[in-house]
Amino acid sequence: MSLLRKINRVLLVLLVVMVCLLLHSTLLRASTRPPPSDHRKGGAVSLPRSQDMDDVVPVVICASEERLGATMATINSIISNSDARVFFYIVTLRDAVKLTRRYIEKTKLKGILYQLVEFNPMVLKGKVKPDSSRPDLLHPLNFVRFYLPLLDIHHNRVIYLDDDVIVQGEIKDLFNVRLKPGHAAAFATDCDLPITHEMVRSIGMQTTYMGFLDFRKREVQDLGINPRDCSFNPGVFVADMKEWKKQKITKQLEKWMEENFRQNIYSSAMAGGVATPPMLIVFHGRFTTLDPLWHVRHLGWSPDARYADSFLKDARLLHWNGPFKPWKGPAVHADLWQRWFVPDPSRRFILKS
C-alpha cells in the first residue's frame, strides 16, 4: 500500500506539472498574438458572426474577370458619395480572386472594407440552358442574387447591386428603406417613373410581365399573373436575409430555373434574359417598392436615347442595363460613369471610346 501511495503522489505531481506547462503555453501564445484588425482602417477583413456591425452598410456586388473595372467604378461611386461606413461583399469566381484583390490593393480603393466571396457555379448545374442569343446573360455571377443566404454574409440586411450601376446618392438612405411586414426584398418597379416612359417606348423596352414570360405556356398561365402587371428590375434591391430564409426564396427560385430548363417558359431572347423571370415570378405582389430615383435604368439599351441632364442630376442611382455599356462605347451619359472609373493597375480593363 505504501508503494501504491508513492506512485499516486508521483502521478499527481506529474499531472500538476503538465497543467502548469499547458497554462504557460496558452498565456504565451495570447501575449504574442497580434491584436485584432481595426475595421476602420479598411482592407480585406473577416467579420465574426457575433460581432455587432449595425453601423455598417453591407453591399453585395459581383466582380467578373472581364468586367472588374465596372465593379470598381460602382464601389468608388458609393464611397465617394456616402458618409456611411460601407462593407462590400465582393462575389467572384475562383479564377478572378487574385486579380480582384490586386485591383483593390493597388488603387485608391485600398482603404475600403471588403470581403472576397467565392461563388461556386456548380450550384447552377441542371438549372441553366446554354443560349447563344445573349451569352453574357448566362454568366454564373448573374445568378448570385438567387443564393444570398448561401454566401458567407454576416448581416441580416444587405443591398444587392449589379456591376453596371453608379450610385450618386447616400447609400445609407437606400439601406434604411422600411420593408413591409412579410417582405423579403424591395425593388423599384418599371412603371413608377413617368419621365422614363418616353425612353422605354423609344427603345422598345418592356415594362410588364408580358415581355419576360411566355404566357402561351400552361405553367405560366397557372400562376394567375396578369400579363400587364408592372415588372421590376432585380439589378438593385434591398434584401432581408431572415425573411428570405424563412420563405425559402432560394428554393423557389431554383424551382423555376429547373422548370424553365425542362419547359422553356422563358429564355435569354426575351427582355430580361434568364435571371430576371424567376425573380419576377417568386416576388410577384410580395415586395416593397423603392423610390424610383434609387433605380433609374435603361441607360444601356440605346446609344442614342438620352435623359434630361436635370433629371439625371436628381437621380440617386443610374443603371446601364442593356448591351450598350459606358466602358465599351458608344453609350449614353458615359461621362457620368467615367468620372468614377478607377484605372486597372494590371491594364487588362481598358475603356473603349
Q: Which domains can be identified in the chain, with CATH numbers?
A: 57-339 (3.90.550.10)
Mean pLDDT of the chain: 85
Give the distance, in angstroms, between the CA of residue 25 and the centroid of all CA atoms in the same chain: 44
- Report the pLDDT value the prediction gives residue 333, as an integer from 0 to 100: 95
- Report the pLDDT value the prediction gives residue 34, as an integer from 0 to 100: 32
Nearest CA to 155 out of 109, 120, 117, 189 is that of: 117
Residue 155 is placed in which grid cell? 448581416
Determine contact, residues 85/171, Cβ cutoff 8 Å. Answer: no
- Report the pLDDT value the prediction gives residue 37, as an integer from 0 to 100: 32
Whether the pLDDT of residue 303 is over 50: the answer is yes
Over residues 126-154, mean pLDDT: 85
- Report the pLDDT value the prediction gives residue 42, as an integer from 0 to 100: 45
How do residues 89-126 score in pLDDT, each as one tens digit? Answer: 999 999 999 999 999 999 999 999 999 999 999 999 99
How do residues 21-45 score in pLDDT, each as one tens digit? Answer: 444 444 333 332 333 333 333 455 5
Neighbours of 181 (CB within 10 A): 6
The C-alpha atoms of residue 232 and residue 276 are separated, in whole angstroms, by 9
- Nearest 5 degrees, angle CA 216-CA 218-CA 224? 95
Give the distance, in angstroms, between the CA of residue 240 and the centroid of all CA atoms in the same chain: 13
How do residues 239-279 score in pLDDT, each as one tens digit? Answer: 999 999 999 999 999 999 999 988 888 865 555 578 999 99
Contacts of 298 (CB under 8 A, 6+ apart): 196, 199, 200, 203, 205, 305, 319, 321, 322
Q: Which residue type is seen at 296? A: V
Determine contact, residues 75/109, Cβ cutoff 8 Å. Answer: yes
Give the H or E element holding residue 306. none
- Report the pLDDT value the prediction gives residue 198, as an integer from 0 to 100: 66
Contacts of 271 (CB under 8 A, 6+ apart): 205, 206, 211, 212
- Report the pLDDT value the prediction gives residue 39, as an integer from 0 to 100: 31
- Report the pLDDT value the prediction gives residue 105, as an integer from 0 to 100: 98
The C-alpha atoms of residue 174 and residue 78 are separated, in whole angstroms, by 11
Whether the pLDDT of residue 15 is over 80: the answer is no
DSSP for 210-252, please give it.
GGTS-TTSHHHHTTT--TTSB-B-TTEEEEEHHHHHHTTHHHH
Contacts of 39 (CB under 8 A, 6+ apart): 45, 47, 56, 85, 87, 113
Which pTM value belongs to this model?
A: 0.84
How do residues 197-253 score in pLDDT, each as one tens digit? Answer: 666 666 556 788 988 898 999 999 999 999 999 999 999 999 999 999 999 999 999
